[in-house]
Amino acid sequence: MTDIYQDSPEQLGEKQYTISILTEDKPGLLNTVTIVFTRRKLNIDMINVSASEVAGVSRYTIVLTTTKDQVEKVVKQIRKHVDVLGAFVYEEDAIHYQEIALYKVPTEIFMDSVEVEQIVRANNARILVIERDYTVIEKTGHKEETSALFNTLKKYGVLEFVRSGRIAVSKSKRKTEAYLEELENSTTHSLYNNNGTVK
């Protein structure tokens, strides 16, 4: 039988894109944003939603592997929603991005040798808390880096591992507040270039 959750093999021409969205902070908006993906059977790789630096405005960072054509259409559909203030798509080289991972391990693994401590140092990770039973290690980095640390720690017994969605800032000098102000005064959609970035 076909595994219906397996990615289709013809992933040719697909790439990882980061979509950055500003919306009014209202209930239900996460749903309105994500159904755009559901309807097209697109799987979101990572999603992060939180308050932006502007009061009442949320920022979504969504990472998606798809074709350029598809991601551009998706972004246009997201922009179409009444409460969406802006949606932009970036290729990897147009953003600075980061993720964070937390690793909960038994405290005793630090007791017997210095190995684990050395691993933590070597990976530029840090100890967040030490409790009698467990210790939480924190590491920021891209997925490959946080995964690498996980793989190294696995043999010592990781009790819990969690990784955040990506957060990203664009390489442009634009200020979010200025963008919103422009939006406030404008009567057009022409703030966007054809490629989804801001003019």
Enclosing H/E stretch for 69: helix 68-80
Choices 21-29, 100-108, 145-153, 166-174; region in contact with another protein by CB under 8 A: 21-29
Quickly list H helices, the chain.
29-39, 68-80, 109-112, 115-122, 143-153, 176-185
Using alpha carbons, list the distances in angstroms from residue 174 to 24, 89, 163: 19, 15, 29
189: three-class secondary structure by DSSP: coil
One of 18, 20, 23, 66 touching another protein (CB under 8 A):
23
Query: Binding another protein by CB under 8 A: which of 128, 130, 189, 195?
Result: 189
Among 24, 91, 108, 115, binds another protein (CB under 8 A): 24
Nearer to another protein (CB atom), residue 81 or residue 163: 81
Taking CB under 8 A as the binding criterion, the range among 10-18, 71-79, 110-118, 154-162 that sits at the site for another protein is: 71-79
- Please provide residue 76's backbone torsions phi and psi, each rounded to the nearest 5 degrees: -65, -40
How far, CA to CA in Å, does 23 sit from each of 62, 129, 168, 182? 13, 35, 16, 15
31 makes contact with another protein (CB under 8 A): yes
* Positions in 74-133 near another protein (CB under 8 A): 76-77, 79-85
Q: Which is nearer to another protein, 67 or 77 (CB)?
A: 77
By CB under 8 A, residue 39 contacts another protein: yes
CA–CA distances in Å: residue 38 to residues 31, 71, 130, 143? 10, 13, 41, 24
- List 15's β-bridge partners, or say none: 66
User: Does residue 19 interact with another protein by CB under 8 A?
Assistant: no
Q: What residues make contact with another protein under the rule CB under 8 A?
A: 23-24, 28, 31-32, 35, 39, 72-73, 76-77, 79-85, 180, 183-184, 186-190
